[in-house]
Structure 1
């Protein structure tokens, strides 16, 4: 897919996997719009690589629609990458044996799963009205699941459910959008070197990295971004979830 003259939208793009992806897509010639919360550093980091920033809460359809329109104003919207999500730990029962508040579970699912669905719907509506390339291709949507979708650990029921939902909806949405020439692919990262993990002591980071069969280290944001670029480039990748995890299979805790 030729990205020069096209636009791309990356949610959760102010840091971590999203930022690395935004930078790589911009380097490939796309006009990149970072979507993140108003409190993020989105405007600052977007300016560093010549992108733009659209403040939005991915659970708000109106805000997402405005962000999509902002991105589409820079050229035909060909790439949408969903990196927005949260991962606070929460067991089914708390330390006192009481059920965890339902609102905590719902918040994780609302942001990580419903937010992804909202972005897909708003981007699809805009892209379906955009003329296709010469081969009928209108672009690709890349979602972010997690190995927790398959190997959820103790304390991750809401997170695993939300990421499992992202994985599960990949194929049906790819089938639905096929008639519009839009592909849908999901990446399930393992233990990645995100800002949250980089804040841990080095010994803790090393311990986590040693759990990975090979290479024995944390995954790097640019490795995620490189996979996004490969998905964009390979037009036959569709309806699939790809693990990016160094062959790790998470232990129960």
Structure 2
């Protein structure tokens, strides 16, 4: 792990071949506990950043990306759904990376991103693949999983890394960059305290679609990334959140 900003603690760690977790720990005021924001940079001929982070930490994330590659090389800025920590600094990234394009699902492009982004988005259909060089990413529509009509996920097929957004949100600001230990327990504890899942009628079916892709690394947006049998972990999640 490399710390790129000592004041904030922002750090970078390669969780899979060419895939870097950029992590900024935060402490909530009034004893609210710790939390973290993760972005994932995928290096290839057309580098991709998944999650932008909130606008207020843009400078920290930019500094971290610059420690790995020139920020102007960025070609794709992807995210799961429209929310500040997912795409709050999207336009800041488009400004510093003149060849970069927003990357999202069709619903997000239609309802929000086509208007709020300074450049037109590249919209992916369910199951559509994007080749960025040696690596190929596949988009999965996942409406309301855990929230947002426009929600979806990317999986990098060579490393079997699922960019799984908010599915396994773990509290705390000092979790390891990647773990093979339990992440479902901490994430379920956090979810039950402030339930942010939509609990749609097809939640289990959507999770099974992700499980069928057999991910081996889960690139979580908050907390540690996770390595192991991703299909089993996802099916355990389905058991936990489905009626």
Q: Under a length normalisation based on structure 1, what TM-score does the superposition of the two structures give?
A: 0.36
Q: Higher relative contact order at CA 8 Å, sep ≥6: structure 1 or structure 2?
A: 1
